[in-house]
Amino acid sequence: MSRRLPPLRALEAFLRVVRLGSARAAAAELGLSPSALSRRIGTLEEFVGRKLFTRAHQAMQLTDEGRAFYDAVAPHIEALAAAVESQSDNLGVMRLHLGVLPLFGGQRLFPRLGELRKLHPRLHIDIDTGPHLLDRVGDTLDAAILLLQHPDPSLHAVRLDHNSVYAIASRELAAEIGSTPDTVKLSRQTFLVHNELPDSFGTWRDAMGLKTFEPAAVDHYDSGQLLLEAAAQGLGIAIMHDDHFKRAGDKRLARLFDVDVPSPYSYWFVCRPRDLEQRPVRLFHDWLVDAGL
């Protein structure tokens, strides 16, 4: 005996409301009026015999039963889409336009992209490391991986890590400065700061109890890789994340002072909420979260 399928349009409406976090956004994406969207959700609730959303003041909030239903159904819908994709000769390349900071790309993303290619051979990624990545999300970029303190609340954002701020120098310079902060020695030094981490130096300085200390100069870099190389060459003290230092594995570099300073910045994956419904964005997003990059 064949099983009765749920009303697929109603199921699509349900999934979009959950993924976009907004009934209004889901209705706009589907080209429906709010009342038409609500009717589709009602049809699905009638089919499954569960209350999936509570409705109040034109807002829809997922119930516990609704969350359980989504968690049970969403992976199978994704598997169905993947199965259709694998059996279709008409589907061409899926392309994702992704903004990435170069150091994240080199240290964390590129070493794992082979795994993604094996899972989704049709998915190809155009990498953009240019300026103003955040401003271009939803325009020339489908998504981006950025260093942020607080993501724009209008964007879908996933935090990828938590970091500490390190002061990093060449081994020779580290030996010269010593293991205890000395404002006289430090005031002679140039500090190197990444453009994407403008508040990192002040955060580190304050946490070290050096609020009145001023270095000889602060030089700014737009490349994390070049910043690390400058530090290795003895050009100054780099203020960087612990993860950057550890992944670099550069024996020419040493950490100054054994003090953990929480960073105000993290790497975030961001995209417009409605762009999660684009298959390339959804595939990359889900892989990124599962891979734990």
Buried b (16+ CB within 10 A) or exposed e, 125-139: beeebeeebbeebbe
Measured N-to-C along each axis, helices 34-48 and 23-30 cross at an angle, to the nearest 10 degrees, of 100
Q: What are the beta bridge partners of residue 166?
A: 240
pLDDT bracket for residue 177 (50, 70, 90)? very high
Residue with tokens 């899926």: 94
Residue 175 is predicted with a pLDDT of: 96
Residue 212, pLDDT > 60, answer: yes
8-87 CATH choice from 3.40.50.2000, 1.10.1530.10, 3.30.110.40, 1.10.10.10: 1.10.10.10
Domains 94-154+280-291 and 164-264 share a fold: yes
The arithmetic mean of pLDDT across residues 148-154, rounded, is 93
Q: What are the beta bridge partners of residue 271?
A: 156
Residue 145 CB neighbours (<10 A) = 22
Residue 139 backbone phi and psi in degrees, to 5: -115, -90
What CATH number should be reported for the domain whose range is 94-154+280-291?
3.40.190.10
Tell me the per-residue pLDDT of 93-105, one tens digit each, with 9 for 90 and over. Answer: 889 999 999 999 9
The arithmetic mean of pLDDT across residues 33-41, rounded, is 88
Q: What are the beta bridge partners of residue 190?
A: 217
Q: What is the pTM of this model?
A: 0.71
Identify the weakest region by mean pLDDT among 18-22, 102-106, 141-145, 289-293: 18-22
Residue 1, pLDDT > 60, answer: no
The arithmetic mean of pLDDT across residues 99-121, rounded, is 94
Tell me the per-residue pLDDT of 55-102, one tens digit each, with 9 for 90 and over. Answer: 876 678 889 998 999 888 888 887 776 666 666 545 568 899 999 999
Residue 254 is predicted with a pLDDT of: 97
The arithmetic mean of pLDDT across residues 107-136, rounded, is 93
What CATH number should be reported for the domain whose range is 164-264?
3.40.190.10
Residue 2 is predicted with a pLDDT of: 58
The arithmetic mean of pLDDT across residues 239-257, rounded, is 96
Yes or no: say if 127 and 164 are a contact pair by the CB < 8 Å rule.
no
Residue 35 is predicted with a pLDDT of: 86
Residue 149, pLDDT > 90, answer: yes
Distance, CA of 119 to chain centre: 20
Domain boundaries, the chain: 8-87, 94-154+280-291, 164-264
Residue 87 is predicted with a pLDDT of: 61
Cβ-count burial of 184 within 10 angstroms (0-12 exposed, 13-18 middle, 19+ buried)?
A: exposed
The DSSP-derived string for the chain is: -PPPPP-HHHHHHHHHHHHHT-HHHHHHHHT--HHHHHHHHHHHHHHHTS--EEEETTEEEE-HHHHHHHHHHHHHHHHHHHHHHHH-SS---EEEEEEE-HHHIIIIIGGGHHHHHHH-TTEEEEEE--S-HHHHBTTTBSEEEEEESS--TTSEEEE----EEEEEEEHHHHHHH-SS--HHHHTTSEEEEETT-TTHHHHHHHHTT-TT---SEEEEES-HHHHHHHHHTTS-EEEEEHHHHHHH--TTEEEEEEEEEE-S-EEEEEE-GGGGGSHHHHHHHHHHHHHT-
Percent of the chain with pLDDT over 90: 64
The arithmetic mean of pLDDT across residues 156-170, rounded, is 96
Length of the chain as a residue count: 293
Tell me the pairing of strands 156-159 and 266-271.
antiparallel
Residue 20, pLDDT > 80, answer: no
Residue 277 is predicted with a pLDDT of: 82
